[in-house]
């Protein structure tokens, strides 16, 4: 193959499920450097891509297509590109699919000159349809929007908007410059820190000042001021002219958190999460790329923002399972954040009151440094945790709260304090059963019971969202008035509370009765303002909130998380309950936490009651090490699924046959997944277990790479799985 030296070529990665970049010709006059965002022809389309490097020379130079356009955006930084390469190899996801995560701000890459926006004027067309009215109402705030944005916000087609443009009701304007990012005041001092906090902050600042990779666990009990302390590290990064990223589980990204940031730094940080508008996404993405946005507080996908000068990542609540992305490109954002820090040569701070076993072991083995905060800030004491043995102190028939817990709630209310009941189960009852024939109402598309939601008068599948009205008669035997609700969800607890404390003001917090972030904020504000006496909630209430008047916390079913028996069940239950317990007694008033359990002798309950986290972690660690489970061994999950059950089974068998033999690796399965049917797809699972020294990615590639699986069958691989459903 002869390469014409007068023609320059580069390799361009496109955001499709493709493993490798393609070569393109760089026409004279265009400058395409590594990282440049470009428009290239692909098949019949033109598509956005990123220049990944020099041309590979593996394509026929004479037939290379030219790059059409180089976009006016700062090139994707080298560290971001290496991060994508690394992640693709580690997660076994096509490079293009990983890269797609990094360009999820469509507007940001549109050439800015193309952005023509429209503003409403007084002219109205002769014919006003309801759809046109909606557009007019949307545009009435006088903000300029593109046709697409207007159509999206008003819920109409682009054509409706164009109709109004043609009629002169909307006039084109230059889109006003994006709102600027206000200066962050990192120079003025934060809260005056306690001796313990100041010492911790000093270590963190020193790590940032070193400008090299290091990983540090900020290990402090809930309420010890971890946030205040890591803010000092953020301030240090800013002082050095670098950017900082604070990663939070999406659920913890509240206005309370943003307000604390503002209290420390004078302005709100840039935010990045799934509920941002397209416009805000565009603004933040560009702001980050151009270095105008200095601090981003975001959910896991913020890792893929094109930071030009990132100098620090903080992962708050690092133990949270919510950092694991289970679909599409599967990755654990905490682990990937460590990689990102290493590739960018800057420090990472992992913060938690209940560190994950992975992190605890990394500390123990000296890979991560540990800085501890042992005391709650100010006068606050750690709450007392008490187990209520439900075998000895059972609730009345048909009730779920033990007399002792009821009495404690009553006492708190009498003292003008607040109580919280925690049950990690949405809806009214997790199962509906026919008393006559024993039939259980199942989801038609999933291996799951339908959950009764009494407020909405519906049965709902929590896996696929299928809903059906609650039937009058049993769908199986036809008996009337025979269906009974089994077990409690938060709605049922609310019903019991209303009977027990008719005077009390209650608030039920779960993801399905609070729609949108605003209603969350409103609910939390009402609790803070003491407009609520008893809070009943799912895990939404467990995280990060600070309610000074909350003194009694009751965990309705402390055993719930232990039921599913996966390898992290005990660890997660411990973390969650410890978090929930941390809501109690955060100010001057001491907190009491009651765990309703049928297993008070279980190691999780004993550790919680004794307040002995480290002993618990040590025991968990030994148990995992004995059987070579993570972090002492490696795991990969493989799910074979299809809407055609026979085909799924056939291919599961094919996979089993094709699995190469290798030392220190075993392939377990196939077995029907616990969720054997999900959204109508039959699912079979393999679990690959290997020792730590094994390159599990290479093994998986050798196994799955050569297989030609038909399109009707999906084989998804999950390295370091957290879900085994």
Residue 709 gets which letter from DSSP? -
In the complex with Zn ion, the residue whose CB is nearer, 445 or 482, is: 445
546 touches, from Zn ion, ligand ADP, none (C-beta below 5 to 8 Å by class): ligand ADP
Q: How far apart are CA 266 and CA 483, in angstroms?
A: 57
Phi then psi for residue 505, to 5 deg, are -90, 125
Q: Does 443 bind Zn ion (CB under 5 A)?
A: yes
In the complex with Zn ion, the residue whose CB is nearer, 466 or 651, is: 466
631 preceded by a cis bond (ω within 30 of 0): yes
466 touches, from ligand ADP, Zn ion, none (C-beta below 5 to 8 Å by class): Zn ion
Beta-ladder partners of 216? 349, 369
Instruction: Compute the least distance from the CB of residue 231 to ligand ADP, in Å.
Output: 8
Residues that bind ligand ADP (CB under 6 A): 191-194, 197, 220, 222-228, 377, 546
Instruction: Compute the least distance from the CB of residue 446 to Zn ion, in Å.
Output: 3
Instruction: Compute the least distance from the CB of residue 518 to ligand ADP, in Å.
Output: 23
Q: 3-class SS at 690?
A: strand
In the complex with ligand ADP, the residue whose CB is nearer, 189 or 646, is: 189
As a whole number of Å, the end-to-end CA separation of the chain is 51
Instruction: Compute the least distance from the CB of residue 191 to ligand ADP, in Å.
Output: 4
Q: How far apart are CA 497 and CA 508, in angstroms?
A: 11
226 touches, from ligand ADP, Zn ion, none (C-beta below 5 to 8 Å by class): ligand ADP
> Total number of residues binding Zn ion (CB under 5 A)?
7
Q: How far apart are CA 216 and CA 313, in angstroms?
A: 11
Nearest residue (beta carbon) to ligand ADP: 225
Residues 457-476 interacting with Zn ion (rule: CB under 5 A): 461, 463-464, 466
Nearest to 582 by CA among 393, 397, 352, 411: 352
CA 570 to chain centre: 21
Instruction: Compute the least distance from the CB of residue 676 to Zn ion, in Å.
Output: 12
Instruction: Compute the least distance from the CB of residue 282 to ligand ADP, in Å.
Output: 32
Q: Does 104 bind Zn ion (CB under 5 A)?
A: no
Q: How far apart are CA 252 and CA 574, in angstroms?
A: 19
Instruction: Compute the least distance from the CB of residue 560 to ligand ADP, in Å.
Output: 24
Instruction: Compute the least distance from the CB of residue 106 to ligand ADP, in Å.
Output: 35
Q: How far apart are CA 353 and CA 375, in angstroms?
A: 11
Helices (H), 1-94: 78-91
Q: 56, 256, 384, 445: which one contacts Zn ion (CB under 5 A)?
A: 445
Nearest to 85 by CA among 50, 60, 61: 50
In the complex with ligand ADP, the residue whose CB is nearer, 193 or 350, is: 193
445 touches, from ligand ADP, Zn ion, none (C-beta below 5 to 8 Å by class): Zn ion
Cα three-residue angle 283-287-292, rounded to 5 degrees: 140
Instruction: Compute the least distance from the CB of residue 616 to ligand ADP, in Å.
Output: 19
583 touches, from ligand ADP, Zn ion, none (C-beta below 5 to 8 Å by class): none
- Contact region with Zn ion (CB under 5 A), list: 115-123, 157-165, 445-453, 495-503: 445-453
Strands 592-597 and 331-332: unpaired
Cα three-residue angle 224-229-235, rounded to 5 degrees: 160
DSSP characters for 94-130?
-HHHHHHHTT--HHHHS-GGG-EEEEE-S---S---H
Instruction: Compute the least distance from the CB of residue 652 to Zn ion, in Å.
Output: 22
| Residue 661 tokens, joined | 């033999």
Q: 3-class SS at 433?
A: strand
Q: Which residue has the tokens 């056939």?
A: 650
682 touches, from Zn ion, ligand ADP, none (C-beta below 5 to 8 Å by class): none
Instruction: Compute the least distance from the CB of residue 193 to ligand ADP, in Å.
Output: 5
In the complex with ligand ADP, the residue whose CB is nearer, 282 or 354, is: 354
461 touches, from Zn ion, ligand ADP, none (C-beta below 5 to 8 Å by class): Zn ion
In the complex with Zn ion, the residue whose CB is nearer, 199 or 442, is: 442
223 touches, from Zn ion, ligand ADP, none (C-beta below 5 to 8 Å by class): ligand ADP
In the complex with ligand ADP, the residue whose CB is nearer, 375 or 507, is: 375
Q: How far apart are CA 229 and CA 693, in angstroms?
A: 37
162 touches, from ligand ADP, Zn ion, none (C-beta below 5 to 8 Å by class): none
In the complex with Zn ion, the residue whose CB is nearer, 47 or 464, is: 464
Helices (H), 592-633: 603-610, 613-626
In the complex with ligand ADP, the residue whose CB is nearer, 251 or 694, is: 251
Q: Does 446 bind Zn ion (CB under 5 A)?
A: yes
Classify each residue of 93-132 as buried b or exposed e, where b means 16 or more C-beta atoms within 10 Å of its C-beta: bbbbbbbbbbbebebbbbebeeeebbebeeeeeeeeeebb
Nearest to 638 by CA among 652, 627, 654, 658: 652
523 touches, from ligand ADP, Zn ion, none (C-beta below 5 to 8 Å by class): none
Q: Which residues of the shown chain bind Zn ion in the complex (CB under 5 A)?
A: 443, 445-446, 461, 463-464, 466
């Amino acid at each position: 193959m002869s390469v014409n030296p007068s023609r320059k070529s580069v390799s361009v990665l496109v955001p499709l499920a493709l493993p490798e970049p393609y070569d393109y010709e760089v026409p004279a006059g265009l400058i395409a450097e590594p990282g440049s965002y470009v428009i290239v022809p692909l098949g019949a389309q033109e598509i956005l891509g990123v220049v990944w490097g020099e041309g590979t020379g593996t394509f026929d130079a004479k037939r290379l297509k030219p790059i059409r356009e180089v976009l006016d955006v700062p090139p994707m930084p080298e560290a971001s590109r290496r991060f994508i390469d690394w992640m693709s190899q580690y997660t076994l996801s096509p490079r293009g699919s990983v890269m797609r995560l990094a360009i999820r701000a469509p507007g940001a890459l549109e050439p800015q000159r193309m952005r023509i926006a429209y503003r409403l004027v007084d002219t109205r067309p002769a014919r006003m349809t309801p759809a046109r009215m909606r557009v007019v109402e949307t545009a009435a705030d006088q903000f300029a929007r593109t046709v697409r944005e207007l159509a999206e916000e008003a819920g109409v087609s682009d054509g409706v908007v164009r109709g109004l443009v043609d009629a002169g009701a909307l006039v084109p304007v230059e889109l006003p410059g994006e709102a600027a990012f206000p200066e962050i005041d990192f120079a003025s001092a934060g809260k005056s820190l306690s001796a313990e906090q100041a010492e911790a902050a000093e270590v963190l600042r020193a790590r940032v000042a070193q400008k090299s990779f290091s990983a540090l666990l900020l290990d402090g009990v809930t309420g010890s001021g971890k946030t205040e302390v890591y803010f000092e590290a953020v301030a240090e990064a800013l002082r050095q002219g670098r950017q900082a990223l604070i990663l939070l589980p999406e659920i913890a990204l509240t206005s309370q958190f943003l307000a604390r940031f503002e209290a420390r730094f004078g302005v709100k940080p840039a935010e990045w999460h799934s509920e941002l508008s397209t416009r805000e996404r565009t603004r933040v993405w560009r702001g980050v790329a151009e270095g105008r946005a200095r601090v981003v507080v975001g959910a896991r996908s913020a890792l893929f923002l094109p930071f030009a000068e990132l100098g620090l990542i903080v992962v708050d609540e690092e133990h949270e399972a919510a950092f694991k992305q289970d679909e599409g490109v599967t990755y654990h954002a905490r682990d990937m954040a460590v990689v990102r820090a290493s590739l960018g040569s800057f420090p990472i701070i992992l913060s938690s009151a209940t560190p994950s076993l992975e992190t605890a072991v990394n500390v123990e083995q000296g890979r991560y440094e540990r800085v501890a905060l042992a005391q709650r800030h100010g006068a606050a004491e750690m709450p007392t945790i008490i187990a209520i043995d439900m075998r000895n102190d059972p609730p009345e028939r048909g009730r779920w709260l033990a007399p002792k817990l009821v009495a404690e709630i009553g006492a708190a209310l009498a003292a003008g304090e607040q109580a919280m009941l925690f049950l990690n189960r949405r809806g009214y009852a997790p199962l509906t059963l026919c008393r006559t024939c024993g039939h259980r109402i199942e989801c038609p598309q999933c291996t799951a019971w339908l959950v009764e939601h009494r407020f909405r008068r519906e049965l709902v599948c929590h896996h696929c969202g299928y809903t059906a009205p609650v039937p009058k008669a049993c769908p199986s035997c036809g008996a009337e008035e025979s269906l009974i609700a089994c077990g409690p969800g938060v709605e049922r607890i609310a019903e019991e509370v209303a009977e027990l404390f008719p005077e009390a003001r209650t608030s039920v917090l779960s993801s399905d009765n609070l729609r949108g972030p605003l209603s969350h904020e409103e609910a939390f504000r009402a609790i803070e303002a003491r407009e609520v006496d008893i809070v009943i909630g799912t895990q939404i209430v467990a995280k990060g909130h600070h309610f000074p008047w909350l003194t009694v916390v009751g965990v309705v079913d402390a055993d719930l998380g232990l039921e599913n028996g996966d390898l992290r069940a005990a660890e997660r239950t411990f973390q969650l309950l410890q978090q929930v317990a941390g809501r109690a007694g955060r100010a001057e008033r001491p907190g009491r936490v009651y765990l309703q359990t049928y297993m008070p002798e279980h190691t999780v309950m004993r550790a919680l009651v004794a307040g002995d986290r480290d002993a618990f972690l040590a025991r968990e660690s030994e148990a995992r090490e004995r059987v070579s489970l993570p972090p002492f061994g490696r795991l990969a999950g493989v799910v074979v699924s299809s809407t055609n059950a026979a085909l799924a089974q056939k291919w599961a068998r094919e996979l089993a046959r094709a699995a190469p033999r290798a030392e220190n690796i075993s392939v377990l399965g196939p077995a029907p997944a616990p969720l054997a049917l999900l959204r109508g797809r039959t699912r079979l699972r393999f679990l690959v277990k290997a020792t730590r020294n094994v390159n599990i990615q290479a093994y998986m590639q050798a196994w799955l790479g050569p297989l030609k699986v038909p399109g009707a069958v999906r084989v998804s691989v999950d390295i370091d799985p957290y879900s085994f459903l």
